[in-house]
Structure 1
Amino acid sequence: MSDHTSKQFDLELESIRTRVLQMGGLVEQQIARAVLGLIEGDASLIYAVIEDDHKVNQLEVELDEACTQVLAKRQPAAVDLRLITTVIKTITDLERVGDEAKKIAKMAKAIRDGSLAVPDVQVRHMADLAVAQLRHALDCFARLDMEGATEVVRHDKRLDAEFKAVMRQVITFMMEDPRMISGGIDMIFVAKALERIGDHAKNMAQYVFYMAKGEDMRHAQLEQIEQAAQAARA
């Protein structure tokens, strides 16, 4: 491969990495707007999330096509092939995170349009945790940070615990006041969407190990992931 071709290939890969992070930034924005729209009952935020979901989908399609073109033209091997494979998996998770943000916006719309009584449960903290997990996973992708990726996997349990806590709170409210049932069910769906966002962030963190070292950690236990990170550091 000539220097020119090699440099061009590097530029193509860098462009793909940059666009993945841009997609991640858009998805983060979608989550934040959906939750704020829910909390404040802001119709403009709610509708913006629903309307902008197509932008997330379009980015996935464009990045998928870019990866296909690289595979066809460059026939990458080793690290470069692992990068492309990781990008394809990562953008799938990001698109699904976008879908979860849209679900939250739709729940917010149903609550607002139906003037439903909603249990006074705090989902903002859970949303902050989910966004922080997603941002950390994207940062680990950008820096091939296996230590950080291990933290993302480890901290997924916090979101699981938050989901269970919200569930208990909502059920208590619904038992005490049947008028809360419809709004309570919607809030459970919101909490589940946030918990699923955490799961997608965890998936993305696990892909970092494959991109960096070729190790598939998708179904590994936390202890195995921690050992892999330690071995890479040694």
Structure 2
Amino acid sequence: SLEFYRMASHSKIQPLTYFGIAWALLLVLSPHCPNTTTTPFLITSAIVISLTWLLFRSPKGQAFNSWAWTIAGILYIGWMLSYWVDLRNLEAGREWVLCGMLTNFANDTGAFFIGRAWAKHPLASTISPSKTWEGAVGGLLAAIAASLILNAFFSWLNYPLPLNYWQMALLGGVISIFAQLGDLVESLLKRNTGSKDSGKLLPGHGGILDRIDSIIFTGVVVYYYVIFAIL
């Protein structure tokens, strides 16, 4: 969240950084609360408190932009990542989280190496010039292969996932697509704010957000895939 709000500051916008970080963290942890009104309460209170806060903060010329970025950070980081906690709380949640994370990693790895070796056709040159269709296809194939291998591996360990191989292959493909969309979304935000990287915590690799941008979407996808395909 801190890196997200620092990107906004590059555009001369001043979000409520520490408030946003606190509420994003509360949202990530909210699935542990048995009360079903916790998440709606946190989102509603974030809207009300942030707007009220901005009434008393100066200068007021960028109040709307400050509020929009504050809420965006809470939802984009906090709410979206909370789905990984929701996923862990499902039956066989540990296996689903591992499946989602490792398939996501396979997608990133496949996209990087295939894109590096055969890069010819830009995927979204106005957003991320380094992304190519070849890399996207490489990531897709790697993710599908990883999902099938993981399915066989969990079965071998006596922790079988309740999906057949076709369903697992489809899940791998869906994870790949949304992982790449998540990557492009973060690239769009960086370009919009004039930021080269989300941070400098990892020399040569940017910030933490640059490393986890793809999993922001995939946690949501795996959770709802499991809910609708199985439960």
Q: Scaled by the length of structure 1, what TM-score is found? A: 0.38
Asked which structure has the greater RCO (Cα within 8 Å, sep 6+), the reply is 1
**Structure that is richer in helix per residue:** 1
Q: Scaled by the length of structure 2, what TM-score is found? A: 0.39
